[in-house]
Each structure stands twice: as C-alpha cells, then as structure tokens.
Amino acid sequence: MINISGSLDRLQKSLPRFAVGKRDNKIAFAFWSCLQLESDILAELNLHPSGLLAYEEAIPWPDANWVIKEFELSDAVVHSYLAQLYLRKRLNDIHGLLYDPAKQKAMMLDVPEDKSIIDHIEQVLLHETSWLHPSYQFSPEDPPSKDILAARIRAKFWGAQNITYRPFIRQILYFSYNRRNIMQSPQAITGDISNDGSVPHINPTARTVTDIHPSILEYAKNGINALIKSTEAFHNLEDKRFIITNVFGTAHA
C-alpha cells in the first residue's frame, strides 16, 4: 500500500490541477500506476481490492513535464500513459452512472435536467477529446493505428463506448428472444441498467421493431460499431513482439 496519509491534505489542495514538486509527483505517479494495474487485474480476476480506489478523488494527476524529465521518457509514452489514466477514470464514471446504484444518485446531480444519462455521457465523457494529446487525436472512421500506444488508447476509447451502449444491444437481443417465447408477465426490457425513466428501454407492449424507440436502435447500432472497432484496434500493428503489462487483458480489449 502506498503511504500517502502524511501527504493527503497537501495533495487534495492540488486538485483539480497536476501535482507540484518531486515528492508529490512521485506519489501521484506511483498511485495512478498501481491503480491502473490493479484495475486491469481486478477486471479479469475475482480478487479483493486493495482500497486504493477510495483515494482516487484525492490524488492529482502527475505532471507530464516532470515525468518526461525524471524518467527520460518520450512525449509519446508519457501522453499515452496520461491518456490511459484519464480513460480509466471515464470508464469508471460511465459504469457508475449506468450500473452502480450506490454511485448513481450522487453522480446524477451533474446531469442537466434536460438531458438523459446517455446524452450526458455522450457529450461529456465520449465526445470531449480535448484531454487527448494532438499526436493521438483520431477520427472514428480512421483505420486501426500501426502504433501500439495509439492502438491501446483507441481500444480503451471504444471500450468506453461499448460499456455505454451494450445495454441497448442486450435489450434488442432479449426483445428478439421474447418474440419467440411466451412471456409469463410482460415487463420492460432494461438491459441491466436503471429503469427509473432516465435511460430509454423497450416497452413491454412492443411486438415489432417499429414499436422500439428509434434512439434505442441507434444506441444499439453504436454499440455494435464499438464492439467491432475495439476488436479491430490492434489489427494493424506491425509484426513484432508486443511489450505490455497484461497479455490477457490486451487480448480481450
């Protein structure tokens, strides 16, 4: 466990900016690196978490210029690292909004009353790319990158889209299944997400595709595209040995 208790108050005062000074940057760099690796491990294995996640909102990002100078790394490597940290947090935010009732109530306070959860996620968490370094900017229509760092960023980006839209794919699949089987009691198909009206779902009276709201069909289409794009993300890499920290996770990205 990283010993951050003595520095926690000072680090919190840095938020939402980047860490300042050698000591705080070392703490921030170690914290986010460990949390990133733990997240990858826990995604694949049913292990008890360390408790690091409880400090996520209290630790600032490491300063890119400090990391480049301290570890003599290239701009490309450091900005890829920071992009991965940012995307991991965005993935957690999306998961909390859609799937975690304990977090959903508090996080909904940030969602404008005139927007649905999905609209908010699309605008704030998916379409906003100002955090991404210019060298890694890409268009959704671009072919897969030949660079592994860019490929990992794109795979994570499409993974965020997948988490957002996969409930609607599931709704469509359940709808198709239920059409072929007699339901004991009609009920709304929600795809394991909130059924409080904040997320569109297929009405239990729906009998044909025309009865499904167009937004659900569009979200499902986006989800299928995200699944394809995330699978293709590594397909254009040059034929050489990949240096990665999590072979199993990367294979399933």
pLDDT, average across residues 5-34: 76
Choice between 46 and 165, residue whose per-residue pLDDT is larger: 165
Does the structure show a pLDDT above 80 at 9? no
The predicted structure's pLDDT at residue 185 = 47
pTM over 0.85: no
DSSP string, 143-199: PPPSSHHHHHHHHHHHHHHHHHHHHHHHHHHHHHHHHTS--SS---B-SSS--SSSS
- Enumerate the domain spans of the chain: 117-252
| Cis amide prior to 200 (ω within 30 degrees) | no
| pLDDT per position as a tens digit, 176-205 | 877 777 554 445 555 565 555 567 788 877
- The per-residue pLDDT of the chain, averaged, comes to 80
pLDDT tier, 165 (very low <50, low <70, confident <90, very high otherwise)? very high
242 versus 1: the higher-pLDDT residue is: 242
pLDDT at 219: 92
Q: Kindly report, residue by residue over 50-59, the tens digit of the pLDDT.
A: 888 888 888 8
Residue 248 has pLDDT above 80, yes or no: no
Q: Is the pLDDT of residue 145 over 90?
A: yes
Which range among 89-93, 126-130, 152-156, 214-218 shows the weakest confidence by mean pLDDT?
126-130
Amino acid 184: pLDDT: 47
Distance CA 87, CA 230 (A): 14
Q: Are the CB atoms for 188 and 195 separated by under 8 Å? A: yes
pLDDT at 192: 60
Residue written as token pair 């999905």: 118
Range scoring the smallest mean pLDDT among 7-21, 131-145, 206-220: 7-21
CB 201 within 8 A of CB 216: yes
Helices 22-44 and 64-71 meet at what angle, rounded to 10? 90
**How far, in Å, CA of 14 to CA of 23, rounded?**
13
Mean pLDDT calculated for residue range 147-161: 91
pLDDT band of residue 228 (cuts 50, 70, 90) is very high
Question: How many residues does this entry show for the chain?
Answer: 253
Question: Quick one: DSSP state of residue 130?
Answer: T
Q: Collect all residues with Cβ–Cβ distance below 8 Å to 198 and sequence separation of at least 6.
A: 108, 111, 116, 117
